[in-house]
Structure 1
Amino acid sequence: MKLRGFRIELGEIEAALAACNGVRDAVALAREDTPGDKRLVAYVVPEQGASVDAGALRAALARRLADYMLPAAIVVVEAWPLTANGKVDRKALPAPDAGQGSADVYEAPAGETEILLAELWKDLLNAERIGRNDHFFSLGGHSLLAIGLIERLRQRGYSIEPGTIFTYPLLSAMAAQLVPVAEAAPVPVVPENLIPDAFAASADASQIEELKL
């Protein structure tokens, strides 16, 4: 499937999750719980007696998959809802919690750039609270929102390259990559007329008339 211009291999995501310790089975799909905001969400069923952590699973996926293939949320369910034919009923899978994707332990943004970036994230991602260890893409960020973030940062006097957002998706790391926008280049100074006055005065009327023509 394609999501925001990127080709997403759902089977690859599911295989990567199934390979994680404690995971019995996994399903990945695109959800549009908010109109116009399609997100990649993964669901896992743990092995019997096992306890799995969504944050640890995200970290494991980040080591194996491209950033644009990382699910915005990972939901742990005890068992799959099934259709009458015994297949996974994907439409019956629960929507992720609003806070899904936040770091397990909240740590407030520190410093001017982290605080500024957190405010922009809150607006773009419709999040109530952003911590310095939160992950832009795990909270629902994607390539189009990254472009919007770049523009808003520019308006606030900072710049960042698109690739940097993918390389440093944690708020604290991304804030460290912000570069103040350079001051506007000075208006070039037009050099003064260096033609000697004596030469200009020597032009006769006919030459001036030719120049006019």
Structure 2
Amino acid sequence: MEFVGRSDSQVKVRGFRIELGEIDSVLAAHPSADFVTTVGTTGPAGNTILVAYVLPTVDARFDVRALREHVAAALPAHMVPTAFVELDAIPLTPAGKLDRRALPQPSFDNRPQSGRDANTPVEKMLAGLFAEVLRLDHVGVDDSFFALGGDSIMSIQLVSARKSGGLRSVTTRCLRTQDRRWAGRGRTVGG
């Protein structure tokens, strides 16, 4: 007998068991969404992340920020998808059901989350550490560690990496907020 996974649309993300249909219901209520499906998949760092696939309504603009805010207003942070993928069409099996295997792979390098690059030495170090631990090419100043797919185990790796990088502290506030500009206040590099 071979175990091939769960068949009830539940995944475990950051220690929480998540019913994917709950996320789909919230996303489907957004006026720009014609069709949605959310899946749990392996992220760049090897952990399970949530990816939402959205077919926008006719003439609707695919706005990741608006979709993310819509979900975040209704569900806890661990249920907000890490990536949102725009669909041109719904991939179907010959039987007319959703073909999950035909869904496109999400891209993690073109996230519109952050428009600001790191400027100060502390911001540059933190952004570099976030990118290293999350195995991403680029992380902006406004990107949230957890929203990018980070979890508690990775946060331990981040704390270890910051020690070797000479940064005195990385707090949970720094990981949870999307604004790390405060991190440079009262912190030193190399101290």
TM-score of the pair, normalised by structure 2 = 0.79
Change (3 A) 1:19 1:158: farther
Letter in 1 for 2:82: A
How many residue pairs get matched? Answer: 176
For residue 20 of structure 1, give the secondary structure of its aligned residue in structure 2. Answer: coil
**1:121 maps to what in 2?**
130
Residues 94-115 of structure 1, C-alpha deviation per residue, up to 9 Å, x if partnerless? Answer: 00123143426x3221223211
Identity %, equivalent residues: 34
1:159 paired to 2:169: yes
1:176 shift after superposition: 1.6
Residues 66-112 of structure 1, C-alpha deviation per residue, up to 9 Å, x if partnerless? Answer: 222121100010221011221111111000123143426x3221223
**1:137 maps to what in 2?**
146
**1:83 maps to what in 2?**
93
Change (3 A) 1:26 1:122: same
1:9 paired to 2:19: yes
**1:50 maps to what in 2?**
60
Change (3 A) 1:146 1:152: same
**1:39 maps to what in 2?**
49
Change (3 A) 1:135 1:160: closer
1:154 shift after superposition: 4.0
Highest CA radius of gyration, 1 or 2? 1
CA contact (8 A) 1:101 1:134 kept: no
Provide the aligned C-alpha RMSD in A. 2.5
Change (3 A) 1:21 1:37: same
CA contact (8 A) 2:32 2:61 kept: yes
1:51 shift after superposition: 1.6
For residue 26 of structure 1, give the secondary structure of its aligned residue in structure 2. Answer: strand
Change (3 A) 1:120 1:175: farther
**1:174 maps to what in 2?**
180
Matches of 1:180 and 1:137 in 2, distance apart? 22
Change (3 A) 1:67 1:10: same
Higher relative contact order (CA 8 A, sep 6+): 2
CA contact (8 A) 2:141 2:181 kept: no
1:92 paired to 2:72: no
Give the 4+ runs in structure 1 shifted more than 3 A: 33-37, 177-181
**Which blocks of at least 5 consecutive residues in structure 2 are unaligned?**
1-10
1:34 shift after superposition: 5.4
Change (3 A) 1:166 1:59: farther
Letter in 1 for 2:131: K
Matches of 2:84 and 2:145 in 1, distance apart? 14
